[in-house]
Amino acid sequence: MTADKTVRGDTAFEPKIIGFLCNWCSYAGADKAGTAQSPYPPNVNVIRVMCSGRIDPQFVMKAFEQGADGVIILACHPGDCHYKEGNYRAAQRYRLLLQLLEPFGIERERCRFDFVSAGEGDKFVQVITEMVETVRALGPLIIPA
Amino acid sequence: MKTGVYFCKCGTNIADKIDAVKIRESLLRQDPGIHFSTVDFMCSEEGKEAVAKDLAENRVERVVISACSPRDHETTFMRVLSKAGLNPYLMQMVNVREQIAWVTEDSGRATDKADRYIRAAVRRVQLHDALQKKEIDICPDVLVIGAGPAGLKAALSIAGSGRKVVLVEKSPVIGGLPVRFEELFPTMECGPCMLEPLLGDVLHGEYAENIELLTMAEVTGVVGSYGNFAAKISQRPRFVDMQVCIGCAECIEPCPVSAKNTFNSGMNDRKAISFPFAGALPNAPFVDEKLCIALQGGECRKCREACPVEGAIIFDDSAKVFERNIGAIIVAVGSDLYDCTKLPQLGYGKLDNIHTSMEFERIMASNGPTDGEIRTTAGNAPASVAIIHCVGSLDPKHKEYCSGVCCQYAFKFNHLIEKKLPGTRVCHFYKELVIPGKDEFGLYHQARSNPQATFVRYDDIQNLSVAGGAEGTIIQYQDNSGKSGSVKADMVILCPAVVPAEDSGRLGTVLEAGQDRAGFFEELHGRLDSAQSKIRGVFLAGTCQSPMDIQKAMNQGMAASGYILSGLVAGRKLEIQPVNAEVDARRCSGCRVCVAVCPYTAISFDPEKKVAVVNDVLCQGCGTCVAACPSAAIKGNHYTNAEILAEIEEVLK
């Protein structure tokens, strides 16, 4: 297979990003962007979970350890969670996670949390595009030994 | 473990962007044993047939479907696996159409991404468990709490299907609030006339033997879950045997004790033994224990002496506790009205002739405290009546929502005042007028064309004040244009916000069913599932869920029954999805973090074994507890840590 390289500008760095999406809102939002055929950079690799409340902070740490340059967690909007409150749990865990990243020398911008509804195909494209640009600007993640 | 990868071309939708040949080469480099096959349109009948046939012929053990969104077709292809004799959970679907082919401009990069996703799916599916759906026996019987319009409708429809219904009513009378209203909006139908056939069916109809009616009773405990609840019901003594009593009312007159009749909002008196109002059903009086001389230890037996039947009045009646097994619960406990003393400038409770709408309904009722005569406390017909809408509704300082029914009954009042007391001036003070529906405008137009009616729109109820004086009650106001004025009113009717019934909080705790911020029972979804609570098997009907009119309450009663009749069928087992949480008792430290985070109260703590236990019926498989468990003692089936971590690892390679 061809290696992930260059699309724009003079940079050859294509960030690898893991995206955790909940089945009912944000994954559906990604599908919405699909049916609208709105293009976005392919750097985000989606892991589908039923609820953002399932996202264990160890998944995020594992992703960084395995070579992800960024991780994005997308949940249902407040009040919209299919499982009532999983998105609030995800938001709580995200705040703790940020504190965990710094000791590893991982910039907090490499881990983003946002809300995308099933109807927000455009927002999904925007959030993903921003995330790729943010991580591209930060450069490859090098975790100090 | 032989893995089959089925690649749907989806016509040109996927094939134009993603190079199946390259994907195949990459996969075979990873594992030469992989069976790779392309299909033109996998979701078509031919496509599904082809996959099923191929699975069997090649003895495939694990399946990766590379096609469209699993949100569209995961269940479609799970059925294909089942048809081919494979466990449907041994499949992983890759969404290459919506999330790669349609959104990636460069086909090389799209192919790369699809390759990563499919490789990750191949890794993941190796770890899948052959999950099995479980089945449990259920009880098809139903507990209905509240015998107002919604509860009655629900009870009758369920009883009509041949099931047992336990109908629990807090008061001594059934029919809810509207049975106390002389006439109902929008068509001025007589309330008791409309409801009595329904009440008759519950008491003596074709399916009445399927309904166990417990009046003066409350649900005090519920254990179990959907399909198998056990409810504890406490019943206060009536001191009258409803089976023996013939409802002749001979006992009432001789009773020497009187008190305010709460069923008429305290506007007249009732005896210690009494009917709530004339025509109340079930047709048997009840004894107020606190008032009755005999029950307070006195010598009086006057009611029993007057009673023509033996054994109807039983002074040694006592509280009873019933335990009933049911499969589902319908909450239909209704609502109350906002306490108008919280708006002291309106004079309620301090001045004479200021009534709530409920009191006015009883004043107009022919079986009410004034036999239907509209009279002031001085005994005169009022020459002017003010009706204040939106009392506490649409008001951030009180209740922010619109109660939805007040405008319509206010126009009903207008109509009845015009009919009963022609020439009486009526002034409506309103914040908003809300009259949706195909029939409801009639009374509004009539009110507007009443030559004696005036309308004043106000912005804030603080701009209205009601004061008494030598010349009568005066309402000072500032309207929404800033203009001030005053209106004399011999009678003032307040239309208070509809609020949750006083008992809702206690019942919510018993049922573990949540309440919204206004205190109404919280529905599973406001539009899709307003007749279901968030607790599986607990359904909602009528104004306990939201303010609503009788039509909507009846419909919700039917909706709640519909869920139960289709979801809980006698002789059919309840299917339990295997994508749920499972506690490994050996690893569980008993910390109970999972119990606290579960949104469905599906996890309990076993105090003997000191471990968490998941109720399969309640668990919805969200996985919040799995992520929360500090000992990794909970497995999230089909989304296990191992499966997700393998997917992460492979997709990053």
pLDDT at residue B20 greater than cutoff 80: yes
> Mind listing the domains of chain B with CATH numbers?
3-126 (3.40.50.960), 142-236+319-334+501-567 (3.50.50.60), 239-317 (no CATH), 338-499 (3.50.50.60), 577-637 (3.30.70.20)
Mean pLDDT of B624-636: 97
Cβ pair B98:A35 closer than 8 A: yes
Contacts of B645 in chain A (CB under 8 A): 59, 62
CA distance A125 to chain B (A): 9
Cβ pair B648:A30 closer than 8 A: no
Partner residue facing B103 (CB), from A18, A40, A58: A40
pLDDT tens track for B95-152: 999 999 999 999 999 999 999 999 999 999 999 999 999 999 999 999 999 999 999 9
Partner residue facing A54 (CB), from B22, B106, B626: B626
Which positions 5-44 of A are in contact with B (Cβ < 8 Å)?
Answer: 7, 16, 18, 23, 27-28, 30-31, 33-35, 37-40, 42
Partner residue facing B645 (CB), from A33, A48, A59: A59
Q: Is the ipTM here above 0.95?
A: no
Partner residue facing B624 (CB), from A27, A34, A53: A53
Is B534's Cβ below 8 Å from some Cβ in A?
yes
Which residues constitute the domain of residue A119? 17-138
Say which CATH number the domain at A120 has: 3.40.50
Task: Give the number of A-B residue pairs with CB atoms closer than 8 Å.
Answer: 130
pLDDT at A3: 41
pLDDT at residue B409 greater than cutoff 90: yes
Query: Is residue A6 one of the residues assigned to a domain?
Result: no
Distance of CA A111 to the CA centre of its chain: 7
Cβ pair A35:B102 closer than 8 A: yes
Task: Output the CA torsion B305→B311→B317→B323 (10° steps).
Answer: -160
pLDDT tens track for B460-494: 999 999 999 778 899 999 999 999 999 999 999 99
pLDDT at A74: 98
CA distance B250 to chain A (A): 56
Partner residue facing A47 (CB), from B108, B622, B648: B648
Residue ranges of alpha helices (H) inside B142-209 are 149-160, 191-204
Nearest Cα residue in chain A from B95? A31
Secondary structure element (H or E) that encloses residue B236, with its range: none
Is A65's Cβ below 8 Å from some Cβ in B?
no
CB of B510 closer than 8 Å to CB of B222: yes
Instruction: Assign 3-class secondary structure to chain A.
Output: CCCCCCCCCCCCCCCCEEEEEECCCHHHHHHHHHHCCCCCCCCEEEEEECCHHHCCHHHHHHHHHCCCCEEEEEECCCCCCCCCCHHHHHHHHHHHHHHHHHHHCCCHHHEEEEECCCCCHHHHHHHHHHHHHHHHHHCCCCCCC
CB of A95 closer than 8 Å to CB of A4: no
pLDDT at residue A131 greater than cutoff 70: yes
Domain count, chain A: 1
The pLDDT mean for chain B works out to 95
Is B100's Cβ below 8 Å from some Cβ in A?
yes
Is A96's Cβ below 8 Å from some Cβ in B?
no
Mean pLDDT of B49-63: 96
CA B150 to CA B553: how far, in whole Å? 5
Q: Which two tokens stand for residue A44?
A: 């985000």
pLDDT tens track for B359-390: 999 999 999 999 999 999 989 999 999 999 99
Query: Is residue A106 one of the residues assigned to a domain?
Result: yes
Query: Is residue A109 one of the residues assigned to a domain?
Result: yes
Mean pLDDT of B496-517: 93
pLDDT tens track for B214-272: 999 999 999 888 999 999 999 999 999 999 999 999 999 999 999 999 888 888 999 99
Neighbours of B524 (CB within 10 A): 17
pLDDT at B158: 98
Contacts of B628 in chain A (CB under 8 A): 89
Mutation pick from A16, A35, A54 vs chain B, by most beta carbons of B within 10 Å, is: A54
* Per-residue confidence band for A11, with pLDDT thresholds at 50, 70 and 90: low
CA A16 to CA A37: how far, in whole Å? 22
Query: Is residue A58 one of the residues assigned to a domain?
Result: yes
Cβ pair A67:B652 closer than 8 A: yes
Neighbours of B95 (CB within 10 A): 26
Contacts of A84 in chain B (CB under 8 A): 534, 599-600
Strand partners, B223: B230
Query: Is residue A1 one of the residues assigned to a domain?
Result: no
Is B641's Cβ below 8 Å from some Cβ in A?
yes
Q: Which two tokens stand for residue B38?
A: 């392309």
Contacts of B623 in chain A (CB under 8 A): 49-51, 53-54, 86
Amino acid at A67: G
